[in-house]
Structure 1
């Protein structure tokens, strides 16, 4: 075989394996952990053997870990952030004073020594050699004794002592609902390394990114506890709660829980003596476990939520790609709702609609962010926005709610409020650095949804459905960026989307079109903003006929196909010349008397002012 043929075959192989990004690579890490829990002190001793593979094209002389528990100490960066942001998370602060003169105190600053969190490293070895390390805040820096060349693997052994903090954010001990252990961000986690370098964000309460790998975890805990966890329980006959008639295998009053998970990038668990377990089977899909406290006040809502959750997995499989793991577990715990590899921890004392909504949202994260490992420290709008989009449209179908052409107008209203607030910042901003939690929340959960719904408006309803499936095919078990999603959308639709991605993600520009004037010969439109978009112009004539003028944006270099909405059935569609973004005015010629004109009757165009989008004679 000649060199050119070999290179061609190799290139095609890589493209099929790794999607659109040429030369894509990602690190791999496998964890084998042994955890011995002290239930009285809320501490544990941890031992870990970590297999780390360097697939990067450069040699690594250091590696880094996240020590998240260190954030829960007075004087930490998270502690200071809480009293130096205009609108701190109410779960994490104590508020007093008056409305005019509020006093904000960080809960972290009030923690007693026994309620603080920490990871104390006892030893780290590489292939048996003791390593030097340095702890700075929530980051552990480790000097390797043997540098890792490209395409090599090393073994790291670590021992540490951890103290589980009083729950303030996501994980910790003794939740407000009485759950003893919510074990999230609980172990020294290998930091993520990719083409952008090491991701060493100090933990101040936002979210995460990490390399994929296998987790083999044994937890030794007092025998009366029941655990809900990431992964599949390997020894259900030896522990409490999962099988009737199970005989607890104990050593010195402790049972050993053994879980294994393949190809995930975060592992979480929760434990309580009062937990009970129920199970559902998704047809041709995973086993679902529901782990909650034995509390009559929540029993009915949790039981009623099980079948809708099964249906949600079926919906996601159909619309976003097949769920690839054997199990998924919903556990009562934490401080709200948070997703982890094949598990979510959610607070359980909710009404039915809230419980189902949170379960749907967190399960959607099994795709958007756990199957597609988005970098939540940079692109939080992708996992939260995409997850919220999937949650909402699935809810409408599963509960037989009316589905409008815009499936979530409420998201648009939330985005408009932010755009008019004066505190909006670009979605591409690092997640930790928003000036307001309000702005972060709307960008992540709301504007991220608008991005998708408006993308459907640009490329067409059927094309967006195809994009999700193609994205799944190319990027599952990898770490895609916003540009990777854009490239898939361009590939599927044949439409250039650079302008949309840049303006909507990297700026705070807004869209504002209007109908300027209408006469019997032409319709005069106006772009009053600095954000160009294609226009669906719906026209009703005096004689009762209707016409849909489609005006592509020039930079699209293409056009969307006909969309199947009831509103457009039997309506003539006329494609006219593209609108140049350099020109604020556009005129559409007509030869009939016009009765009514509407810019985008589907209301998927995120126009900041809809009041001038309609003309009625």
Structure 2
């Protein structure tokens, strides 16, 4: 019970302490404070919205214009999202109709088929800034506002916006009448302040991928049919006045509608979903996190899966607290909705008609985003691998520990991601991970780059600096960057500080190029081993030699560019091996010789399988 009472104080401390401590000289970030009132007509799928927004300009620049995102506008024939679906080689199958075959597809954009009463839109009715009407124009999914008076550095401006909106047919993430029967999946549903930082305004047109937004507070009231149940970000303020959250609730209604009142602090997106058939359940983690599930109880199997997943979700938050830093908000809500899984502030939308393993997997992934994108406001439109890859790494660790109950994590917990990355790297379709998320030539390249290569980057980093240093890097990153907007370079610098190892070469080659790692054992004699780098990507080498007399020796060959050595690691695959640190290997030198004192029986490059070597058949002697 004491933990629950301490939560507000802990949250306040985290919020205030992190806002005043800058991590880079001159670092700043904008802040928003939303207060919204939404009147929903569930029959027409339209709503009226009013928003009071306080926008704090913490930059050193005077702002004459500001921008908002109007994401629903993407769901109209002729939008950029529509044209993207028509012209990408492998469009998202959820968003198109295939009139051909699997071998010879003939795709048609589902957006192209939307009628007037099916499209999505957000139409601004009025917009005031500090009590004065402001000029504005809408360009696709971007609302550009010219301020009647500039918002100076250090000042806070007050906006009042009213708008009409229509919820589109469910095509991507948000919408009405999902494939599983959820009435309303309300993601990207309000005029959202665009992100402004040291790199300028981030004004990406919405074509179906990722997001970036400033941190802020939300106070949201939703008026909807009294028979509907709502799941949302933040904390429900009036559970005793609405359906589903308390057994003896007395539904407070006006003209057949109930009001759902939610508040959330220091998040950068707010989501909600609603359906008359939703069932609600909740549980607490050992640390006191209240985890809610809001779902459609289709049958006994579905109910059992969700209840089991709820218990595992609470364990997941405790697991992550130890490895990646405590979850700082008091609650997390898992809501059935959307078209797969998508993370939002203190909540997620996931599809629920899954088997238990799949349901737990998607919940773990989206919950892991509470760190890598929501606690650390990563710009997903620029550094998608930093967001999705790191999240996938967290998910996999948690899944193997809690669901599969493997006990000690394997040396490489992400071996499946490695295999997918190898296919990408050898496919000829790989593009640099530094490419903006929207601009990949194929969804195949984007998905494997963001989710799999990003995961590989993390695990291989552990190979370079050592697993203990990797764990400490995550925890130090948490201390320095929670509730802020770090870049990959900020993570790299902390990894360098923790490990003492220079990592410039590694992050540059992994992110900005499509170079591949490929080492080989060239020759083995009774007295010498020759290794060769067959690629243009140099790496340190762990070489395990098993001698004919039964002894083992682990030769560690650092890379000259590292300027330091990795500490010894206690891995099962290295158990019983004497560790010998050799002279560093130059990236300019293609081969390396190792002298032996006795006859080798077996030689293996990286038995932990963390080195992302695209051709491993020549990494052992004798060859397998």
TM-score of the two chains, using structure 1 as the length reference: 0.96
For residues 495 and 598 of structure 1, what CA distance do their matches in structure 2 show? 24
Residue 587 of structure 2 corresponds to residue 584 of structure 1: no
Contact 2:336 2:350 in 1 (8 A): yes
Matches of 2:498 and 2:104, distance apart in 1? 55
Report deviation, 1:58.
1.1
Structure 2 residue runs of 5 or longer lacking an equivalent are 1-15
Verify the 8 A CA contact 2:245 2:280 in the aligned structure 1.
yes
Choose from 458, 472, 479 the match for 1:466.
472
Contact kept, 8 Å, 2:287 with 2:318, in 1: the verdict is no
CA offset at residue 18 of structure 1? 4.3
Which position in structure 2 is the counterpart of 1:62? 65
**Secondary structure in 1 aligned to 2:434?**
coil
The answer to whether the 8 Å contact 1:18/1:475 transfers is no
Give how far 1:584 is off: 0.5
> Is residue 480 of structure 2 the alignment partner of residue 455 of structure 1?
no
In 1, Cα distance between equivalents of 2:327 and 2:462: 24
Which of 427, 446, 450 is the aligned partner of 2:452?
Answer: 446
Distance in 1 (alpha carbons) for counterparts of 2:441 and 2:21: 36
1:220-248 superposed Cα distances (whole Å, 9 cap, x missing partner): 11111100000000011111110111111
Contact 1:15 1:21 in 2 (8 A): no
Distance 1:16 1:203 in 2: 30
Equivalent of 1:414, from 402, 415, 420? Answer: 420
CA contact (8 A) 2:230 2:274 kept: yes
Q: In 1, distance between residues paired with 2:21 and 2:515? A: 34
Deviation at 1:99, TM superposition (A): 4.9
The residue number in structure 1 matching 2:56 is 53
State the match for 2:607 in structure 1.
Answer: 601
Alpha-carbon distance in 1 for matches of 2:232, 2:198: 32
* Residues 93 and 362 (structure 1), Cα distance of their counterparts in 2 relative to 1, 3 Å cut: same
Structure 2 residue corresponding to 1:33, chosen from 32, 36, 43: 36
1 CA distance for matches of 2:243 and 2:508? Answer: 53
Residue among 128, 139, 150 paired with 1:125: 128
Determine the C-alpha separation between the residues in 2 that align with 1:519 and 1:484. 45
Is residue 305–residue 355 contact of structure 1 (8 Å, CA) maintained in 2?
Answer: yes
CA RMSD of aligned residues (A): 1.4
Q: 2:10 maps to what in 1?
A: none
**What is aligned with 1:477?**
483
Residue 387 (structure 1) aligns with: 391
CA positional deviation for 1:294? 3.0
Checking the alignment, whether the CA contact within 8 Å between 2:217 and 2:266 is kept in structure 1 is yes
- Point out where structure 1 has 5 or more consecutive residues left out of the alignment: 1-12
Q: Which residue of 2 aligns with 1:104?
A: 107
Q: Could you report, residue by residue, the CA deviation over 1:483-532 in whole angstroms, capped at 9, with x for unpaired residues?
A: 01101100100000000000011100000001111223321110010000
TM-superposed CA distance for 1:100, in Å, is 5.7
Query: Is the Cα–Cα contact under 8 Å of residues 14 and 22 in structure 1 kept in the other structure?
Result: no
From 288, 298, 302, the counterpart of 2:302: 298
Match of 2:95 in 1: 92
Q: Is contact 2:546–2:601 with CA below 8 Å preserved after alignment?
A: yes
Q: CA deviation at 1:616?
A: 2.3
Is this contact kept in 2: 1:18–1:24, CA < 8 A?
A: no
Q: CA deviation at 1:101?
A: 4.4
Q: 1:100 to 1:438 in 2, by over 3 A?
A: closer
C-alpha distance in structure 1 between counterparts of 2:153 and 2:467, whole Å = 43
Q: Is 1:513 aligned with 2:527?
A: no
Alignment of 1:25-424 (within 5 A): 25-99=28-102, 101-296=104-299, 297-399=301-403, 400-401=405-406, 403-424=409-430
Q: What is the rounded CA distance, in whole Å, between the counterparts of 1:16 and 1:270 in structure 2?
A: 31
Task: Look up the match of 2:619.
Answer: 613
The Cα shift of 1:470 comes to: 0.3
Structure 1 stretch displaced more, 82-91 or 140-149: 140-149
The verdict on how the C-alpha distance between 1:17 and 1:585 changes in structure 2, with shifts beyond 3 A counting, is farther
Q: Partner of 2:570: helix, strand, or coil?
A: coil
Deviation at 1:594, TM superposition (A): 1.6
What displacement does 1:590 show?
A: 1.4
TM-score normalized by the length of structure 2: 0.95
- Rounded Cα–Cα distance in structure 2 between residues aligned with 1:22 and 1:534: 33
Separation in 1, partners of 2:228, 2:553: 67
Q: Partners in 2 of 1:235 and 1:391 — Cα distance?
A: 33
SS in structure 2 of the partner of residue 489 of structure 1: helix
Q: Is the 8 A contact 1:32 1:217 kept in 2?
A: yes
Partner of 1:493: 499
Question: Which residue in the other structure is 1:550 paired with?
Answer: 556
* Count of residues in Structure 1 that have an aligned counterpart in Structure 2: 605
- Deviation, 1:305, is 1.2
CA drift of 1:23 comes to 1.3
